Structure 1
């Protein structure tokens, strides 16, 4: 399939009016699922769609080719705003193309950068066959590298947003650094955003942090915690202690790459 060909999204209640340009056959993950099914992570998709209303603000950290960016831009409408951060130049090109093809340029700011705890530069280690699995750290594999820009999230967004309805963070192990940089802003907002975030203890540890540290940082926001059960399509209530113990157990098994998505904040369903 040529990389410039687009697929229509098959979203419940949205018809086929949204479409995305996808990666070519080299990508075995997100683009393959979109070609075959027209949808990615159906339950997470439902959560994002339920959480956003016209006029809302969505921040997408690790936007990849723009699946959740486009969903969010559709949900927040012409009066809303989406900030999409993607450090990989090839992914950012597709991200911009997908925002444009759906007519969302006026409501989406595409930022070709990653978020971190400080403004800096970094190296992005590229996966050859899962183009959503690029990493901002070396994990011992032989991967091609590209230099990327990193931004302190709170500093960048402080003059741009006065509210944040939902924050999605999927950065392949760099989530602790992202959240550390965003916390000063989140603590000043009139209401905390819902946060949809990946929790992968192995990748977090490889990046120099840990699952426990990320859980404890998120728990400091004082919001409900949920495990996103994408098999049963339910939100399972949990606690910081339970999540931290799970992270410790995963860390205790060498090479265990177990992961889950968690939601911080009230259930939108």
Structure 2
């Protein structure tokens, strides 16, 4: 019996895998992607027809497919994902929807072009990282695979796609290097919207402090808005306000889970120029 099945989200369909203990399992149990329901709404609200969207850390393609459903056949979606297993499942969904304007790039995003190692999580397929740390277990050991890395500035220059409207970034601690590799893109696109994961332990694993990461965003010209899944609302924050929220949330009993104790707590930010 096949492990694959097709779930209809209404605007698009996804081919999911029963052996995927993360996204696929949640959709199978709940019929929806509940973990980031508010973020999905915010992401969708930023999309318009014919836009160009970059999905950095596309995993199995949920946000790319959602973007395609809004930008239409004349928009462009560039989806960057280094895991061959995730790409294989993602491409099945592209075929299922007969989408022709999602371009899957088999690479992780960083600050230069080259090669690196992808450390594979033994738990969740969305947790693979360029850094040797697993935030479900706190362990530093696991299998790995050789992958290609690219910078966004280099990729867009080579492909002639300099204009970008929206960037979705979920790269498991590599956010700082990704931002370093898209400085020209951020400067060139005066009305750019960025939605990024903010995982404090992840940026520490990558060698910087959470405050520095947030200040990089503001110094790049972005206003920060907290996409608060807990409160199901989005609101403007300063760097210090976001750091205060981070400390408070990690201490909250409702969020004091085993994953938080291992440094797993994360949230997302809407960044608007």
Q: Is the 8 A contact 1:8 1:38 kept in 2?
A: no
Q: Return the TM-score normalized by structure 2.
A: 0.86
Q: Which residue of 2 aligns with 1:160?
A: 160
1:34 corresponds, among 27, 39, 57, to 27
Q: Is the 8 A contact 1:44 1:230 kept in 2?
A: yes
The 5-angstrom pairing of residues 1-269 of structure 1 reads 2-9=2-9, 16=10, 18-25=12-19, 27-40=20-33, 41-105=36-100, 107-139=101-133, 140-158=139-157, 159-189=159-189, 191-244=190-243, 255-265=262-272
**Cα distance between partner residues in 2 of 1:156 and 1:226:** 28
**Shift in CA distance, 160/33, structure 1 to aligned 2, threshold 3 Å:** farther
Q: Aligned-residue CA RMSD in angstroms?
A: 2.3
Say how many residue pairs are matched: 257
SS in 2 for 1:5: strand
Q: Return the TM-score normalized by structure 1.
A: 0.87
> Per-residue deviation at 1:244?
4.5
Residues 193-241 of structure 1 deviation map (CA, whole Å, 9 limit, x = unaligned)? 2111111111111122332221111111223211111133211210123
**Cα distance between partner residues in 2 of 1:43 and 1:249:** 20
Q: Which residue of 2 aligns with 1:12?
A: none
**Cα distance between partner residues in 2 of 1:44 and 1:247:** 17
Structure 1: runs of 5 or more not aligned: 10-15
